Amino acid sequence: MSAHSSAIARLFIGLAEARRTTIAFELAGEAGGVWSDDDGDLAEWGTDFLIRQAMCIGGGTTEIAANVIAERVLKMPREQTLDRDRPFSEVPRSPSKPT
């Protein structure tokens, strides 16, 4: 496998951890949303749910990992971009207004 194949593990870990945290939060019910210091693990689930996207962002976003897998591992063509050779200051950032 190529060196870029590590993106597969990165993508899997980020998505699986976010999903696992969501399931734990749903199983906790209302105790997962409102907790006291004495609630132990339930308080952990609520806190984990609030920061679950950190696993998808830290170390490079899962979107970047998905692009690496598609382009470098699976050898799929890049997404078409019409502004590749333009300076950033000339790239349109909002939809054009109708005239």
Instruction: Please tell me whether the overall predicted TM-score, pTM, comes out greater than 0.75 for this model.
Output: no
pLDDT value, residue 96: 66
pLDDT value, residue 23: 94
**Positive or negative: CA dihedral 25, 30, 33, 34:** negative
The rounded distance, in Å, linking the Cα atoms of 26 and 18 is: 12
**What is the pLDDT averaged over residues 22-50?**
83
pLDDT tens-digit map of 7-17: 999 999 999 99
* Local confidence band at 68 (pLDDT 50, 70, 90 cut-offs): very high
- The torsion angle over the Cα atoms of residues 70, 75, 77 and 83, rounded to 10 degrees, is 70
